Amino acid sequence: MSSHRGTDGVVIAGAGVAGAQTAVALRERGYGGPVVIVGAEPHRPYDRPALSKGVLMGTAQDPAYDIDFDALDVELRLGVEVTGLHPRTRTLDTTAGPVPYRTLVLATGAEPVPLPGADGVHLLRTLTDARRLRSVLAERRDVVVVGAGWIGAELTGVARASGCAVTVVEAADRPLAGSLPAEATAPMADWYAQAGAELLLGARVSAYERGAVVLADGRRLTTDAVVAGVGARPATAWLAGSGIALGPDGSVTADDRLRTSLPDVYAVGDCASFPSARFGTRLLVHHWDNALHGPRTVAAGITGGAPDPYDPVPYFWSEQFGRHVQYAGHHAAADTVVRRGKSTDTEWAVLWLRDGVPVALLTVNRPRDLAQGRKLIGVGARVDAARAADPSVPLKATVIAPARAQGPGEGPARPDSTFRADQVFSGQSL
């Protein structure tokens, strides 16, 4: 591979899925200039969702992407951390020295929220973290998991499957309280007990001691290992003083083409928020699907194309206690909740509507619902809420009409009575 030392081409800060896919998308669009990826980890770019699944279970050892960076003539500078940005001179500060750029892509992702005074607590964000934690689980130790969010649930399931005794400490009154409303997440509390894990709700940690976690009410949980999963935040602290616009959540505030407030600087993936006309708000999406698709918009902008506004239907999935959980959309825009099936069943779903138009969907072991619902959210199709509440009726059969496009922030539009469901699902066996 050729070396582009001192390059003034495209520099990508971050070697996760967003950074790697930006490089691929640039080459696919015919960009022939230098492309350099600067990554803080020593590992070649890899698939991060595998960390809490195959890598932690020991069924996947190397989650590296099957991307031939040599053939793409993309230079990887690994084990190099970005520490500052100087837009006037178009230079990145890194632990290996300054790196000039002509165009810069910020793809530094997110980092776990740390727990104060929690030295020795395990986190799960990197491949090194996962391998270290895997050795702990393999010894079938007693484990305390702090946080019953998405990562906490996956960690708990893997730890129980590995033979560990697990206690989960959650400050809220239910799992996933910071992500989804109670109608979706309250039933998930039972999953922990069914898996043999103890879930302590409304419990706050006051101190970490050697071999124990002390709760605010005085309880002392003895343990061999503590794992924290209390959320993540954009990894953007290194941008302080650069003049780039950041939101109150720490995200880089990109526009609908993923351009930042600085010239020739883009932002994509977990570190960036973007305006959504579809949902009438700015979104910060910490999920793999967003990091996979955003790079196409970035590459189109860099290569002189006219990309469509970036306004996806957010999507993610999770494997929890033998259940396949999927979510699409943005439920905060909803005015109506429709449940499909009982939460005690092996499969069920929750559909959120606004003015009769689906805006979000959570499914448990109902992949067809997810596929059809995500499509309906994307086209703004209005549905019959009563029929949608019947889990035996396919979601595509509940369609009344789509919504015509409206201006930014106006939400779902009025239905178009000329619509037919077969126009949306034509040729698709969903």
pLDDT, position 428: 53
pLDDT, position 52: 75
- Percent of the chain, pLDDT > 70? 90
- List helix spans (H) across 249-325: 288-302
For the chain, give the mean pLDDT: 89
The overall longest dimension of the chain from CA atoms, in Å, is 67
pLDDT, position 230: 84
> How do the domains of the chain map onto residue ranges?
10-112+233-302, 127-230, 322-425
Of 158, 164, 160, nearest in space to 141 by CA: 164
Of 12, 30, 98, 92, nearest in space to 271 by CA: 12
- Choose the weakest-confidence range: 149-163, 171-185, 291-305, 403-417: 403-417
For 361, phi then psi, to 5°, come to -155, 130
Cα–Cα distance, 158 to 162 (Å, whole number): 6
pLDDT, position 124: 85
- Choose the weakest-confidence range: 15-24, 205-214, 386-395, 416-425: 416-425
- Choose the weakest-confidence range: 3-7, 113-117, 165-169: 3-7
| Distances in whole angstroms, Cα of residue 178 to Cα of each of 40, 41, 213, 301, 352 | 29, 29, 23, 34, 17
Strand order in the sheet with 74-78: 74-78, 35-39, 10-13, 103-106, 265-267
- CATH number for region 10-112+233-302: 3.50.50.60
Work out the pLDDT band at 178, boundaries 50, 70, 90.
confident
343 CA to centre of own chain: 25
Work out the pLDDT band at 167, boundaries 50, 70, 90.
very high
Work out the pLDDT band at 8, boundaries 50, 70, 90.
low
Residues 32-41: tens digit of each pLDDT:
999 999 999 9
Residues 229-286: tens digit of each pLDDT:
888 899 999 999 999 999 999 999 999 999 999 999 999 999 999 999 999 999 999 9
Is pLDDT at 345 greater than 70 in this prediction?
A: yes
Is pLDDT at 419 greater than 70 in this prediction?
A: no
Say which residues have a Cβ less than 8 Å from residue 160's Cβ, sequence separation at least 6.
166, 195, 196, 197, 321
Is pLDDT at 422 greater than 60 in this prediction?
A: no
Of 15, 46, 86, nearest in space to 268 by CA: 15
pLDDT, position 65: 87
Is pLDDT at 406 greater than 80 in this prediction?
A: no
The answer to whether domain 322-425 has CATH 3.30.390.30 is yes
For residues 358-363, average pLDDT: 96
CATH architecture label of 127-230 = 3-Layer(bba) Sandwich (3.50)
Same fold, 10-112+233-302 and 127-230: yes
Cα–Cα distance, 157 to 57 (Å, whole number): 10
pLDDT, position 282: 96
Is pLDDT at 393 greater than 80 in this prediction?
A: yes
DSSP label of 405: P
For residues 194-203, average pLDDT: 96
Residues 283-342: tens digit of each pLDDT:
999 989 999 999 999 999 999 977 889 999 999 999 989 999 999 999 998 999 999 999
Is pLDDT at 74 greater than 60 in this prediction?
A: yes
Is pLDDT at 5 greater than 50 in this prediction?
A: no
58 CA to centre of own chain: 23
Asked if residues 324 and 367 have their Cβ atoms less than 8 Å apart, the reply is: yes
